[in-house]
Chains A and B, each alone.
Chain A
Amino acid sequence: MAQVSCTHCHLTFDESVMIKEEIDGKLCYFCCHGCQGVYHLLHSEGLDTFYAKLGNTKLTPPQPILEESLEKFDLEGFQKRYVKVRDDGLKEISLIIEGIHCSACVWLNEKVLRKSDGVIEADINYTTNKAKVVWDDDTIKLSKIIQTIRAIGYNAFAYDAQIQEELATKKRKEYYMRILVAVFGSMNIMWIAVAKYAGYFTVIEQQFKDILNVAEFILATPVLFYSGWVFFRGAYYGYKNRMVNMDILVATGATLTYIYSIYAMITRSGEVYFESVAMIITFVLVGKYLEVLGKKQAVDTLDQLKNTIPTEVLVVNPDGTKSLQAVENIKAGDILEVNAGEKIVIDGIITKGEANFDESSLTGESLPLFKTIDSEVLSGSICTDSTINYKATKDVSSSLLSSIVALLEDSITKKPRIEQLANSVSGYFSVIILAIAIATFVGWWFFDGSWEKALIISISVVVIACPCALGLATPMATLVGIGTAAKRGIIFKEASFLETMAKGTKIALDKTGTITQGKPTVVSANLKKSFNPSVLYPLVSSSTHPISIGIKNYLEEHFPNIEPRDFTQLKNIQGKGFSAIVDGSEVLGGNLKLLEEFGIDFEMESDNLIFICVVDGEIVASFELKDKLKDGAREAIEELKKQGLSVVMLTGDHQRSAKSIAQEAGIEEFYANLLPQDKAKYIDDFKAQGDVVIMAGDGINDSIALTKSNIAIAMGGGADVTIGVSDVVLLDESPKKLKESHLISKRTYRSIKENISFSIIYNIIAVPLAIMGFVNPLIAALSMSLSSLVVVSNSMRIKNIKFKDTK
């Protein structure tokens, strides 16, 4: 049979399965009723041109969506979270449109939305699939808008366009514009300057020089005041916080050079330095822009975490009926029902049923916990396998999950980043240069009597001291450092983090996922002769429980010739194990509690997890499982200690297993049984003791502690939020990278110090000359570019860093 393509979605299928229909004398084929429906809709609305625009792009056939799920879009809780009411009374929402394949899809969605009454604005970003819709709530409801999008075969989700995200985009844009102006200005000034340099050697008439000077002045002015505005702003904040930062030096240096040049231009005395004004602003600004670009949006990922929190829960009313209610309306004492796979939003106590709970987002531990009547359930955990009823003990805002999110938001916005710049070497340098300049001014004025000459000379001190070398000293080294780190799978989100990390004195590590693999593996097995792996294998393969997976891996490794048997009556026994019938015999697999339940006597003492296999009442195999250290974890921790860091471990796991892992990894100091807030508290305590704390973790449970630490390192495989809030991301999760990232930061910091000391030496030679009033334009121009070159090439040396384990 011939293959034909669907008229709507263009996917090809066999002709026999297609729905045939003649529309306006044209034979059309549809692969499903969904496609047919959409085609009819577009046809009747006169939007056939969509198909012409679509070309040969294939679409996803529309999925049938339950009508009832639309209601939630008009619920108050939903509207409160996602919908923004504008000043003019119109409502605005940010949506992610699913199913967009090409620009024709964008066109269609925009077109259909704009045609609907009451929709005032619909703008879809093709690159990100994000849409902004503004509508008039009196004319059209949000649910109707969503329904319109669904009717044409797409789907829409709301997302919280946090103000921070908008701010970040705005900031990037602002920097970009400033750089455009700066590059335009400095490039033009440069060619004018070339003419002047040439003129300096071949003699130039004063009138031409004046024209060139004025042209440079005109070009340098917007560069200094528009592009350089960020430095003035930074200098102002630095002044307010009583700190001398690089911004102050750049701002004063550039401004004084500018003023001096204007003076030189008007009085026709000496040389003008407009080109250095433009160049320094441009260079340092580009460095800053790269930092802004690299900054990942923590808040972006926080949105995703929030989106996974259900907005409504199933409430069991006193009369036995069930109803769906917004989480905001739940009070303590209400009875809630949770089904398998659902996330708990509100803390409470189980009143009916029993189930396993995955608390990995709270404690970081991958093993589900078994809970029954009267046990406490925590929000953020996921009910994995059955239906329970529980009584809410708190309302949503005071539940654990919400408080974690709130805490995170709080610490992200309050993280004192500016503090990191304080006390940096360049800060001291700025003070010294400014002091010398003032001293020069006073000295010349006192001895020479002419304040004019004193001013020119003192400005020239700043001019010759300030430019490129010092401006480039830190950004150049950190850029090379970031690049070197990125090549090794270590992402530093901001340049300044390298410097802070190098100053770290204490490193706090999470256990599961950071030091250990987070997957239990068999460490010892005691197998009887009668043990047949072919019986156990299919049973453990059918489960996703971490212990089953560990056993499965062990069997696969040690018994290459497994022929899985068929099994019947597989029963999971909550929190204990499973039972099944294989080849007519009863097979049990599980922990000691399971044996107890089946009345089998067996004694075993171990720090590890135990899994026992019983066939017809006889114990045929016992396994001990343990969460193993990651490869190289011990060596990496040893190296970190050698590099002068004190290492601590913070874990949500219980004392005993924490102790054994700590011993194995060679960590003396560890704290167990910690909830997310406790970890954060420890970090605060360490900081209060004067430590600069580096924290490495991978789970949501570490995220608060991560935001509290001076430098947060996230494992690449970790939760999005963790990656979002951290400063450094290790892409391949190996503990070795922890050590390497610290090594790179130390090496970079050394280069920064070298660069700055070079600049200082350069200044020790150049500044006295300036103080004595010998500043010759030739020397100034040459030494400026030469010093920059030295700084750049010294920074390049970071690339040659040696790691012990690489050849």
Chain B
Amino acid sequence: MSSSIMILMLSVSTLLGAIGLIALLWGVKTGQFDDTSKFIDGARYDNEEDLRDAVMMEEKQKAAVKKKKEYRPAD
């Protein structure tokens, strides 16, 4: 066994594991595991309509923030 193969094996396996770990950490951090029951049922409501709703909410949020900023001029 040459050392380069060993380096390759070690780095690839550790990297794969690290990617999984980072994904998990991201999930924890963004609160995706906070509500276990909702998380399990999430797949049932994953359709086009809900996606549109989510986009609508985002736009609404942006609009509201913008409105508030215009309302209060910078001092």
Question: Which A residues are within 8 Å of any B CB, using their own CB?
Answer: 53, 88-90, 103, 106-107, 111, 114, 118-121, 124-128, 136, 173, 176-177, 180-181, 184, 188, 192, 207-208, 211, 215, 218-219
Q: Is the CB of B21 within 8 A of A180?
A: yes
* Contact partners of B29 in chain A: CB under 8 A: 173, 177
CB-based nearest B residue for A124: B38
- Min C-beta distance of B5 to chain A, whole Å: 10
CB-based nearest B residue for A181: B21
* Contact partners of A127 in chain B: CB under 8 A: 35-38
CA distance A219 to B18 in the complex (A): 10
- Min C-beta distance of A383 to chain B, whole Å: 41
Q: Is the CB of B37 within 8 A of A184?
A: no
Q: Is the CB of A120 within 8 A of B60?
A: yes
Known A-B contacts A103-B37, A126-B35, A127-B36; the reply to A218 vs B7 at CB < 8 A is no
Q: Is the CB of B53 within 8 A of A188?
A: no
Q: Is the CB of A126 within 8 A of B28?
A: no
Q: Is the CB of A136 within 8 A of B64?
A: yes
CA distance A121 to B57 in the complex (A): 7
Known A-B contacts A120-B64, A180-B21; the reply to A211 vs B6 at CB < 8 A is yes
Q: Is the CB of A215 within 8 A of B14?
A: yes
Question: Which B residues are within 8 Å of any A CB, using their own CB?
Answer: 3, 6-7, 10, 14, 17-18, 21, 24-25, 28-29, 34-38, 41, 44-45, 53, 56-57, 60-61, 64-65, 67-69, 71-72
* Contact partners of A111 in chain B: CB under 8 A: 53
Q: Is the CB of A219 within 8 A of B38?
A: no
CA distance A154 to B56 in the complex (A): 24
- Min C-beta distance of B57 to chain A, whole Å: 6
CA distance A180 to B27 in the complex (A): 12
- Min C-beta distance of B60 to chain A, whole Å: 6
CB-based nearest A residue for B66: A88
Task: Give 27 A-B contacts (CB < 8 Å), ordered by A residue.
Answer: A53-B44, A53-B45, A88-B68, A88-B69, A89-B71, A90-B64, A103-B37, A103-B41, A107-B45, A111-B53, A114-B57, A119-B60, A120-B57, A120-B64, A121-B61, A125-B34, A126-B37, A136-B64, A136-B67, A173-B28, A177-B25, A177-B28, A180-B28, A184-B18, A184-B21, A192-B10, A208-B6
CA distance A120 to B61 in the complex (A): 5
Q: Is the CB of A90 within 8 A of B3?
A: no
Q: Is the CB of B61 within 8 A of A219?
A: no
* Contact partners of A215 in chain B: CB under 8 A: 10, 14
Q: Is the CB of B7 within 8 A of A211?
A: yes
Q: Secondary structure of the B side of the interface?
A: helix
* Contact partners of A208 in chain B: CB under 8 A: 3, 6
CB-based nearest B residue for A128: B35
* Contact partners of B45 in chain A: CB under 8 A: 53, 103, 107
- Min C-beta distance of B31 to chain A, whole Å: 8
Contact of A219 among B14, B34, B41 (CB under 8 A): B14
CA distance A173 to B3 in the complex (A): 40
CB-based nearest A residue for B39: A126
- Min C-beta distance of B12 to chain A, whole Å: 12
CB-based nearest B residue for A169: B34
CB-based nearest A residue for B65: A88
Pairs A-B, 9 closest by C-beta atoms: A103-B41, A89-B68, A126-B38, A126-B37, A125-B35, A215-B10, A184-B21, A136-B64, A120-B64
CA distance A540 to B4 in the complex (A): 91
* Contact partners of B7 in chain A: CB under 8 A: 211
CB-based nearest A residue for B35: A125
Q: Is the CB of B14 within 8 A of A114?
A: no
CA distance A184 to B71 in the complex (A): 50
- Min C-beta distance of B36 to chain A, whole Å: 6
CA distance A126 to B61 in the complex (A): 23
Q: Is the CB of A114 within 8 A of B38?
A: no
* Contact partners of B3 in chain A: CB under 8 A: 207-208, 211
- Min C-beta distance of A641 to chain B, whole Å: 48
CB-based nearest A residue for B72: A89
CB-based nearest A residue for B68: A89
- Other A-B contacts than A103-B45, A107-B45, A180-B24, 16 sampled, CB-CB below 8 A, are A103-B38, A114-B53, A119-B60, A125-B35, A126-B37, A127-B35, A136-B68, A173-B29, A176-B28, A177-B29, A180-B25, A188-B14, A207-B3, A211-B6, A215-B10, A218-B14
* Contact partners of A128 in chain B: CB under 8 A: 35
CA distance A136 to B63 in the complex (A): 11
Q: Is the CB of A106 within 8 A of B64?
A: no
CA distance A89 to B18 in the complex (A): 40
CA distance A25 to B44 in the complex (A): 29
CA distance A396 to B69 in the complex (A): 37
- Min C-beta distance of B20 to chain A, whole Å: 9
CA distance A53 to B3 in the complex (A): 58
Contact of A106 among B28, B38, B56, B67 (CB under 8 A): B38
